[in-house]
Amino acid sequence: MNYASGETVDIGDSVTLEHGKTPGIVYAVIESPQQINEWALDEPGIMIEAEPFGLVFWPASEIYDPVIFIARKCT
């Protein structure tokens, strides 16, 4: 799965939601049918940890309000 800017989505990435208003961290990348089933979802996407919401599922199809990549997790 890729961001609109082309980078591959990785767990731990810093991102923003809601047109850049809400910062978050990628918690899970959900792509395979098995992962979709494990999360009890209907489609692929990413799970983002974002205050004050907690975990937020962002479907891959949400192209009108993309998740914006900020930086990779420092290792």
pLDDT digits (tens, 9 = 90+) for 55-69: 999 998 886 678 899
Cα–Cα distance, 7 to 33 (Å, whole number): 22
DSSP-H helix ranges across the chain: 33-38
* Residue 69 burial (CB count, 10 A): 20
51: amino acid identity, one letter: E
**What confidence tens digit (pLDDT) does each residue in 22-55 have?**
999 999 999 999 999 999 999 999 999 998 889 9
Q: How far is CA 64 from the centre of its chain?
A: 14
* Residue 75 burial (CB count, 10 A): 4
